[in-house]
Amino acid sequence: MGKVKFFDGTDTIGGTKILLEISKKRFFLDFGLNYKRRGMFFEEYLNPRPANGMGDLYFLGLLPSIKGIYRKDLLQFIQREGIKELGDGSESSSVDGVFLSHVHFDHSGYIAFLREDIPIYTSDITISLLKAIEDTANSNLETSILKFIRRPATGTSKDPLYYGSHKAKAIVGENKINGINVTACPVDHSVPGAMGFIIKSEEKTIVYTGDLRLHGERRADTEQFVRQAREAHPDILIIEGTNLRADNDNEAREFWTEQRVFEEAQKEIRNRKKLVIVDFPSKNIYRFLTFFELARSSGRKFVISLKDAYFMNAMKDVGMPVPSLSDPNISFYLEKKRSGTYNEKDYSSSWMKKILGKVDANRVITAKEIRENENNFMLILRYFNFQQFIDIRPTNGSVYIHSSSEAHSEEQKFDDQRMDNWLKYFNLYPRIHIHASGHAKQDDLFNIVSEINPKMIIPVHTEHAEKYVRQFGSKVKTVKNGDTIKF
């Protein structure tokens, strides 16, 4: 007998944690961070305490109660509080691996808490992105996935920052993992390296979509996954439903393709004589390529941060069709750090030194150079770097293009208000919103289900699973966090 247990992510967008038990093996389908539930307790200046290991998150229900899956160094904190049900880390692992669909933290983030002998199976692109994120960010208890600081971090000379690491294994196509047949299929999403999984045993065939769409640059990948899933004759299809809409939502919505994003942005910048500023998620390589081509074709230098350059270099290393760091159409923006004087010592972190050592120093520019020749540039500037406006001081006639999803939580709406305050102050308001969703539209989701034709449909990663019930009737099994489906 096998079963699927849903620990998180059934009625929210993200936080997916699904445990599949099949042929006496146990695998997680993603192990993500639930932003909605986390936001009930934490915010920018109120965070889980690293000094309490995993204790804060466990007591608040953000980590599930499962014995034999968590890091030994983190378990000691709650052991002191008399919590014994999770074990102490000396027992054998109770899970054989994690099938990670893609890099987004709502699917990957809480892998950081899993013990290091639980392997992660994912794409080579996802592994490369995870490494790049960790190289360029401050170590974070919740999102340091491939490497992590052991707790307690004593800070002594003998134990300054002792890292453990998770084993990430790149898979694609057909694989045999612990006796289970697993087909890892690339799918189109807003981040490269996303995959869906077809998992077969003598008992059942399970298909998990992860996040996917049919209107992006890699539509053919999703179509191929759907064909393979259909040919597998699945017993259970676990499918996302991000863009399912409530019954009373009658708003007409148009789903733009990446080509439409290009065309609409091109209209906005065509006759601009001042600075063009663009904002999009750093891991959305497809959007990077869209704006790179817009900058190049409009005769502007595409100005990217050192972190963007590091990500681009990582993607180049795994065969993504991104421009070379030596491309003359790209310039590199040097922010003020530490001393505020652009001293070489201000950029001494290993990843910064690596990138600065790879690029032409003549194409590394500061705010002053942008300010004096703003009509020559298209600059990537994201919300959390808006302080740079103070140095750049864009003049009237400059434009800000926001190319990310719109706010949907209360916290994001507060960020939106703060963003608008900055834009108004620098005469960049109203922002121009141009975006293509990373998730399939409702009709496409229904078509995907119809084509795969599973015996059972289980919606996750959605707030409106009832729309699948309305469309497919008794074939749909709606689940709540904590529910188990046995087979």
Same domain, 370 and 427: yes
Q: Which of 268, 256, 282 is nearest to 378 (CA)?
A: 268
Average pLDDT of the chain? 93
pLDDT on residue 165: 84
Print the domain residue range for 314.
258-433
Residue 253 lies inside a defined structural domain of this protein: no
Same domain, 195 and 280: no
* Residue 342 CB neighbours (<10 A): 15
Residue 252 lies inside a defined structural domain of this protein: no
Structure confidence by residue, pLDDT tens digits, 403-434: 998 655 666 677 889 999 999 999 999 999 99
Same domain, 148 and 166: yes
CB of 398 within 8 A of CB of 276?
yes
The two tokens of residue 481 are 């966090």
Structure confidence by residue, pLDDT tens digits, 30-48: 999 999 999 999 988 899 9
Same domain, 115 and 75: yes
The two tokens of residue 321 are 């069709």
- 163 has a pLDDT exceeding 70: no
Same domain, 465 and 400: no
Among 411, 433, 455, identify where a domain stops. Answer: 433
Ranking 82-96, 99-113, 182-196, 275-289 by mean pLDDT, the lowest is 82-96
- 140 has a pLDDT exceeding 70: yes
pLDDT band at 154 (very low <50, low <70, confident <90, very high): low
- What is the share, in percent, of the chain residues with pLDDT greater than 90? 84
Section 125-150 average pLDDT: 89
* Residue 241 CB neighbours (<10 A): 23
Using CA atoms of 68, 4, 182, 447 in order, give the dihedral in degrees to the nearest 10: -150
Radius of gyration of the chain (CA): 23
Among 433, 452, 478, identify where a domain stops. Answer: 433
The two tokens of residue 45 are 């200046």
Residue 207 lies inside a defined structural domain of this protein: yes
The two tokens of residue 127 are 């592994």
Structure confidence by residue, pLDDT tens digits, 302-312: 999 999 999 99
Residue 237 and residue 235: Cα distance in Å, rounded? 7
- 86 has a pLDDT exceeding 80: yes
Same domain, 419 and 459: no
Residue 320 and residue 329: Cα distance in Å, rounded? 18
Residue 21 lies inside a defined structural domain of this protein: yes
Give the CATH number for residue 178: 3.60.15.10
Section 205-227 average pLDDT: 97
Same domain, 226 and 319: no
Peptide bond preceding 186 in cis form (omega within 30 of 0) = no
Our count of domains for the chain comes to 2
Give the CATH number for residue 289: 3.40.50.10710
Contacts of 281 (CB under 8 A, 6+ apart): 190, 191, 287, 404
Kindly state the helix (H) or strand (E) to which residue 18 belongs, with its residue range: strand 17-22
Structure confidence by residue, pLDDT tens digits, 352-404: 999 999 999 999 999 999 999 999 999 999 999 999 999 999 999 999 999 99
Which of the 8 DSSP states describes residue 397?
A: T
Backbone angles phi, psi at 206, to 5 degrees: -115, 135
pLDDT on residue 160: 44
Same domain, 219 and 277: no
Same domain, 390 and 469: no
Residue 100 lies inside a defined structural domain of this protein: yes
pLDDT on residue 159: 53
Residue 264 lies inside a defined structural domain of this protein: yes
Same domain, 315 and 418: yes
Residue 238 and residue 180: Cα distance in Å, rounded? 18
CB of 327 within 8 A of CB of 289?
no
H helix count then E strand count, the chain = 15, 22
Section 159-187 average pLDDT: 87
Residue 250 lies inside a defined structural domain of this protein: no
Section 10-28 average pLDDT: 96
Residue 422 lies inside a defined structural domain of this protein: yes
Alpha helices in 197-284 (DSSP H): 219-231, 258-269
Residue 389, CA distances (Å) to 83, 423, 425 in order: 49, 9, 10
Residue 471 and residue 448: Cα distance in Å, rounded? 12
Peptide bond preceding 430 in cis form (omega within 30 of 0) = yes
Same domain, 316 and 365: yes
- 104 has a pLDDT exceeding 80: yes
Bridge partners of 418, per DSSP, are: none
Q: 430-459: b or e for each residue (b if 16 or more CB lie within 10 Å)?
A: ebbebbbbbbbbbebbbebbeebebebbbb
Same domain, 418 and 444: no
Residue type, 295: A
Structure confidence by residue, pLDDT tens digits, 271-285: 899 999 999 999 999
Half-sphere exposure (Cβ direction) of 470: Cα atoms closer than 13 Å: 11
Half-sphere exposure (Cβ direction) of 358: Cα atoms closer than 13 Å: 18
Among 433, 456, 478, identify where a domain stops. Answer: 433
- Residue where the block lists tokens 């004593």: 154
Length of the chain: 487
